[in-house]
Structure 1
Amino acid sequence: MSDLKDIFYRSLKGIKGYFKAELKLAALTFVLLCIGFYIIGIDFWGIKALGIAIIDIIPVLGSGIIMIPWALIHFFMGNTTIAWQLGLVYIVINVVRQIAEPFVTGREIGVRPLYTFISTIVCMLIFGPLGALIGAGVAIVIKAVYDVKMVRNSDPSEWE
């Protein structure tokens, strides 16, 4: 029973770390959007950046759910300069986030970025888009079980 409590505690700690990582990544997205929108000359750039950063926390949707249609609307309205600028801001945000995400998430939850990535991909293949939400959670629970079993197996009092 003690092992189960320890697994549960470590899993909760990892999930808390995951949400902390998501907030850090959303803050990074917010800063990049603010800079990009300010340079482009978007009205109310801070408020719009905040709204998109909040949407960016949702794993499957991300900032593209707002940025892509926004750029397309400007493109079809003939505002091609703004459309390309919005597209460039979106690309920069995605590239920076894709580089930062494994490191920030891995550091916060204690799971190597590659394992988190593999877990997310496998869960997406099994559960579809819902798998993107539970992939990191599965990696956290597997890591907690592994850690508890390793601690138990390394305890000399358990060897007899």
Structure 2
Amino acid sequence: MNDNNLIRYFFFLATSIVIIAGLKIASEILVILFLAIFIASILSSLLTFLKNKNIPIFFAYIVSLSILILLSLLLAYVINISLKDFIENLPSYETRINELIVDSIIYIEQTGYKVNKDEILQALNFSSFVGFTTNIIGSIGTFLSKFVLVIIGVAFILAEAKSIQTKLKIIFQNNAQKLQHVNLFSKNIQKYFLVKTFTSFLTGFIITLILMYFNVDYPILWGVIAALFNFVPVVGSIIASVPAIVLALMNLDINSTIYITVLYVIINISISNILEPKLMGKELGLSPLVIFFSLILWGWILGIVGMFLAVPITMTLKIAFDSNSETKWIGIMMSNLAKKQEKKRS
């Protein structure tokens, strides 16, 4: 590596740090922008479908926005009502979990071990569970409170969709390959979000039915959270399952809690590892390590919304790196080459 290349890489590193700092400062605006772009990419498929059914473009536009508004209002209503009821019932939950801890201590003491009950009750403070759950619901509530601006952004993006395509054709009129590359990337992102939306809805629906069957409190709320956190790879399903499993432990017997935990695992593994890859048709092409650290990075920059958008944003960056010969090595480092090598061997 010569001095010029070294200077160039340090320049890229310094520039990246400045850009990340700028993204962090502008996170409030970027969250709205990114959400509007990705939601519009989903609704554009519905808009195209309605247009192909010979529905006038204006009515197709109104129907698409109406569906988005109705779903947003429904989510806001369910979370608001459930959160108020959950807070009102906190004292009874605290009493129940303390009783469970005391019963567990008594059982341990019967086996011959000496346990300090006061220290354990103090260490296993119920407020930690309450704080964890309310933080999850509160973050989703904050996210929904900004959704009016997101909906307005989606409306403008859908209205400009046709002209954006025309502008791209003008920009790349002398480079058809780049235009094809941009269109392919747009289709892949759109396909990812459509499949992820469907599998997330399916996950939330099944979880809601299971929790209703076992009479766990707030089954619709935990189903909504399971659906939303299905967008977060690796850790999303784990985070979404904690409140429901703890409530099951407080209100049901240990066998029912084990059944619910096992069903959570089966549902998430079946949908995420079996159904999603079949519907996607191909791998995302991102290394699991890159996915994990992208969750941390974009979660830090954009908050909880950044975790939902970590994979598509990182995919965007990877494609940008792949398109430049000087940065292609970064795209290779971000790739999941293990899958490709397995396919070649087979």
TM-score when normalising by structure 1: 0.65
In 1, the alpha carbon distance for the partners of 2:211 and 2:250 equals: 20
1:77-88 paired onto structure 2 within 5 Å: 79-88=253-262
Cα distance change of structure 1 residues 77 and 39 upon mapping to structure 2, 3 Å threshold: closer
In 1, the alpha carbon distance for the partners of 2:197 and 2:264 equals: 19
Equivalent in the alignment of 1:11: 185
Equivalent in the alignment of 2:231: 57
In 2, the alpha carbon distance for the partners of 1:29 and 1:21 equals: 12
Larger radius of gyration: 2
Query: Do 2:222 and 2:244's aligned partners in 1 also have CA atoms closer than 8 Å?
Result: no
In 2, the alpha carbon distance for the partners of 1:64 and 1:36 equals: 17
Residue deviations 1:78-120 (CA, integer Å, cap 9, x gap): 95234213212212212321210101222xxxxx3xxx16x23
Query: Do 1:30 and 1:50's aligned partners in 2 also have CA atoms closer than 8 Å?
Result: yes
Alpha-carbon deviation of 1:77?
9.3
Equivalent in the alignment of 2:279: 104
- 2:204 counterpart of 1:30: yes
In 2, the alpha carbon distance for the partners of 1:23 and 1:127 equals: 19
Cα distance change of structure 1 residues 129 and 86 upon mapping to structure 2, 3 Å threshold: farther
Equivalent in the alignment of 2:288: 124
- 2:264 counterpart of 1:90: yes
Query: Do 1:67 and 1:86's aligned partners in 2 also have CA atoms closer than 8 Å?
Result: no
The higher relative CO (CA closer than 8 Å, separation ≥ 6) is in: 1
In 2, the alpha carbon distance for the partners of 1:95 and 1:71 equals: 17
Runs (5+) with no aligned partner, structure 1: 107-111, 146-160
Equivalent in the alignment of 2:69: none
In 1, the alpha carbon distance for the partners of 2:219 and 2:242 equals: 17
Q: Which amino acid aligns with 2:198?
A: K
Runs (5+) with no aligned partner, structure 2: 1-174, 296-309, 324-346
Equivalent in the alignment of 1:44: 218
Stretch moving more, 127-136 or 55-64: 127-136
Query: Do 1:34 and 1:46's aligned partners in 2 also have CA atoms closer than 8 Å?
Result: yes
| Secondary structure in 1 matching 2:236 | coil
Q: Which amino acid aligns with 1:99?
A: I
Q: Which amino acid aligns with 2:178?
A: L
* Length, aligned pairs only: 131
In 2, the alpha carbon distance for the partners of 1:12 and 1:63 equals: 27
Identity %: 18
| Secondary structure in 2 matching 1:60 | coil
In 2, the alpha carbon distance for the partners of 1:11 and 1:64 equals: 30
Cα distance change of structure 1 residues 99 and 136 upon mapping to structure 2, 3 Å threshold: farther
Cα distance change of structure 1 residues 87 and 25 upon mapping to structure 2, 3 Å threshold: same
Q: Which amino acid aligns with 1:29?
A: T
Query: Do 2:226 and 2:237's aligned partners in 1 also have CA atoms closer than 8 Å?
Result: yes
Query: Do 1:124 and 1:135's aligned partners in 2 also have CA atoms closer than 8 Å?
Result: no
Query: For the aligned residues, what is the CA RMSD?
Result: 3.2
In 1, the alpha carbon distance for the partners of 2:234 and 2:178 equals: 31
| Secondary structure in 1 matching 2:234 | coil
Q: Which amino acid aligns with 2:293?
A: P
Alpha-carbon deviation of 1:26?
0.3
Query: Do 2:200 and 2:227's aligned partners in 1 also have CA atoms closer than 8 Å?
Result: yes
Stretch moving more, 72-81 or 22-31: 72-81
